[in-house]
């Protein structure tokens, strides 16, 4: 008998619908978080926070390209660690500008932690 996991797909992968929903919620939380930092003070005071925040989408695109387009989970794993670190630095810097803004990024780093794990497992199960 073939079964599905709680996410609705085979082999332990989250379904596309679930992933889309998760990213939608995360982007909303990220936008609110960035907005809270933006209104917290003058640009010269929040410059580092804003740069760190806008670094993340670029890193996210690079990970997607490495993992899905180039099918290189080894390089993607290295890159997703950089993304995870950028999110952590952003959270820490956001906490100093607006505490709630930093807290709103917790689901994002949690999800990327899941991505790190899944990427690692794919690499482990498919060594070259």
Residuewise pLDDT in 10s, the chain (128 residues): 333 343 444 456 778 899 999 999 999 999 999 999 999 988 888 999 999 999 999 999 999 999 999 999 999 999 999 999 999 999 999 999 999 999 999 999 999 999 999 999 999 999 87
Token pair listed for 57 = 């989408």
Is position 85 within any domain?
yes
**CA distance linking residue 29 with residue 34, whole number of Å:** 9
| Burial category of 73 from C-beta neighbours within 10 Å (exposed 0-12, middle 13-18, buried 19 and up) | buried
Is position 111 within any domain?
yes
Is position 110 within any domain?
yes
Is position 90 within any domain?
yes
pTM summary value: 0.86
Closest CA to 37 of 23, 22, 48: 48
Where in the sequence is the domain holding 51, given as residue range(s)?
A: 14-123
**Residue keyed to tokens 């290295």:** 78
Is position 88 within any domain?
yes
Is position 53 within any domain?
yes
Number of domains in the chain: 1
Is position 9 within any domain?
no
pLDDT at 12: 64
Is position 8 within any domain?
no
């Amino acid at each position: 008998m073939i079964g599905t996991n709680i996410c609705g797909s085979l082999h332990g992968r989250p379904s596309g619908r679930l992933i889309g929903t998760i990213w939608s919620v995360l982007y909303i939380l990220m936008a609110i978080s960035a907005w809270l930092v933006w209104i917290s003070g003058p640009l010269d005071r929040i410059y580092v926070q804003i740069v760190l925040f806008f670094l993340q989408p670029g890193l996210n695109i690079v990970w997607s390209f490495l993992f899905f387009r180039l099918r290189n989970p080894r390089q993607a794993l290295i890159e997703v660690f950089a993304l995870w670190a950028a999110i952590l630095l952003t959270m820490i810097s956001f906490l100093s500008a607006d505490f709630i803004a930093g807290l709103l990024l917790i689901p994002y780093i949690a999800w990327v932690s899941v991505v790190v794990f899944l990427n690692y497992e794919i690499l482990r199960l498919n060594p070259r």
